[in-house]
Amino acid sequence: MKKLLVTGGAGFIGSNFVRMSLSEHSDCFIVNLDKLTYAGNLENLAGFENHPNHKFIKGDICDGLAVEKIIDQYKIDTIINFAAESHVDRSITEPKIFIETNVTGTLTLLEAARDKKLERFIQISTDEVYGQLGPEGKFTEKTPLSPNSPYSASKAAADHLVKAFGHTWGVKYNISRCSNNYGPYQFPEKLIPLMINNALNNKELPIYGDGLYVRDWLYVYDHCTAIWKVLTEAPPGEIYNIGGCSEKTNLEVVGLILDYLKKPKSLIEHVKDRPGHDRRYAIEARKIIKELGWQPSVSFEQGIKKTIDWYLKNEVWLSNVVSGDYQKYYDSMYSNR
Ligand code: NAD
Ligand code: TYD
């Protein structure tokens, strides 16, 4: 039985990972440590609160004593670190918390993994650590790190710390670097859920700049199966890129959402660009496909339909998420664009 400490397991990707693991693998016990920031939501774990192989604990990854206590009490063998401040736009307005959680928090978890001699430390990183691409080429695991936003700089710092703990103290680690995720339970500050929510409410769809920025899109369930492969099959010290083989411009993504919802293109509004906006990300995922036998299960066209259907079926989840401070956030972010 694997004894996992999953951090950030009430967020978007972490909660999907907890759901997938408990549904498909009976041989794991998960302690889920999450601070429940604006992005963490216990409703993301509905139906799994009382699962016998799941224990949720509200807490901060920067609290080393709490982390060590959990490791001892639950005989944890592996940490999978999803916890992070994850939104580029927020990192431009308030970078400090990104350093605290993404850098100091990862350092705190690494110290615990080292001192408690854990079997493995898995860092969930991002393709944004590589910087940006022109029209050609893809990021490989050997691409030098060259982050451009405070968010990606904090994630790159964390990746360097993970490697340094491996080199200096022999901590056994893996790092996965994925492209943009989409799917159920994503907070509507990121492109796809924000546009779905606005389109459903016949509100403007704010496209930054010319809308020709390119991202590779990865369905969140496919990301979770890739992480499971890394957890169970990867040799220590290996880094894996995870991508969906689905490059799209932002205008293409929004066009598909509008078509599926039968809403007019006139809802699209070009607004002031994000400062330092990375033009293109594209992932070469050949290593994980070849060495661990992983494959994405859906195309973008299939995944986006599943995602929109999920948001349509989960109106209560969506209306709870956009109540409270969300409108204040939206107005502060978009009123001056
Ligand atoms: P998210 O913002 O939806 O969730 C983050 C979770 O971490 C939340 O539940 C939050 O409460 C928790 N958290 C934040 N600070 C914490 C702290 N100090 N201690 C404990 N918990 C804390 O993020 P996500 O989209 O699910 O991303 C998960 C991971 O994947 C992150 O590390 C992110 O950098 C990485 N990633 C995300 C994407 C993407 O497209 N969403 C792409 C590449 C990499
Ligand atoms: P986002 O979902 O914030 O992810 P990231 O910046 O980490 O790639 O943004 C995805 C793309 O969509 C990015 O090019 C910025 C753009 N974007 C908009 O045009 N409008 C928006 O309202 C948002 C949130 C993003």
Give the binding-site residues of ligand 2, using a 6 Å CB cut-off.
88, 180, 190-191, 194, 206-208, 213, 215, 250, 274
Find tokens 């695991």 and name the residue.
Answer: 141
152-161 per-position pLDDT tens digit: 999 999 999 9
pTM over 0.95: yes
CA distance 265 to 143: 37
Question: What pLDDT, on the 0 to 100 scale, is given for residue 102?
Answer: 98
Residue 306: which H helix or E strand, with range?
helix 300-313
129 CB within 6 A, ligand 1: no
Count of other CB atoms within 10 angstroms of residue 313: 11
What pLDDT is attached to residue 337? Answer: 81
- Quote the distance between the C-alpha of residue 150 and its chain's center: 16
Q: Is the CB of 10 under 6 A from ligand 1?
A: yes
Where do the H-state alpha helices sit in 171-299? 191-200, 220-233, 250-261, 286-292
Active site residues: 127-128, 151
**pLDDT (0 to 100) of residue 324:** 83
What residues in the chain have per-residue pLDDT under 50? none
In angstroms, rounded to a whole number, what is the distance separating the alpha carbons of residues 273 and 257?
21
Query: What is the DSSP secondary structure assignment for residue 313, as one 8-state letter?
Result: H
Give the integer Cα–Cα distance in Å for 219 and 289: 16
Query: pLDDT tens-digit profile of 56-109?
Result: 999 999 999 999 999 999 999 999 999 999 999 999 999 999 999 999 999 999
CA of 248 to the centre of ligand 1 (A): 23
CATH of the domain at 136: 3.40.50.720
Cα(191) to ligand 2 centroid in Å equals: 5
Atom of ligand 1 nearest to the CA of 101: 18
247 SS3 class: strand
pLDDT for residue 43: 97
- Domain coverage including residue 207: 2-334
Question: Which single residue is written with the structure tokens 């854990």?
Answer: 118
Instruction: Kindly report, residue by residue over 298-327, the tens digit of the pLDDT.
Output: 999 999 999 999 999 999 999 999 998 898
**Residue whose C-alpha is closest to residue 128's, from 144, 150, 152:** 152
Torsion over CA of 213, 216, 217 and 223, rounded to 10 degrees?
Answer: -150
Which of 232, 223, 240 lies closest to 295, judged by CA? 223
CA of 262 to the centre of ligand 1 (A): 32
* DSSP-derived secondary structure for 80-114: EE--S---HHHHHH--HHHIIIIIIIHHHHHHHHH
DSSP structural state of residue 262: T
Residue 265 exposure: Cα atoms within 13 Å on the Cβ side? 5
Q: What integer pLDDT is reported at residue 79 of this predicted model? A: 99
What pLDDT is attached to residue 335? 85
Signed CA dihedral, 124, 128, 131, 133: sign only: positive
- The predicted pLDDT at position 182 comes to 98
Q: Which atom of ligand 2 is nearest to the CA of 86?
A: 7
Instruction: Give the Cβ contact number of residue 263 at 10 Å.
Output: 16
Quote the number of domains for the chain. 1
Residue 336: predicted pLDDT? 78
Q: What is the crossing angle of helices 250-261 and 300-313, to 10°?
A: 50
39 lines ligand 1 (CB under 6 A): yes
Q: How many angstroms separate the alpha carbon of residue 205 from the centre of ligand 2?
A: 12
Q: Using a pLDDT cut of 70, give the percent of the chain over it.
A: 100
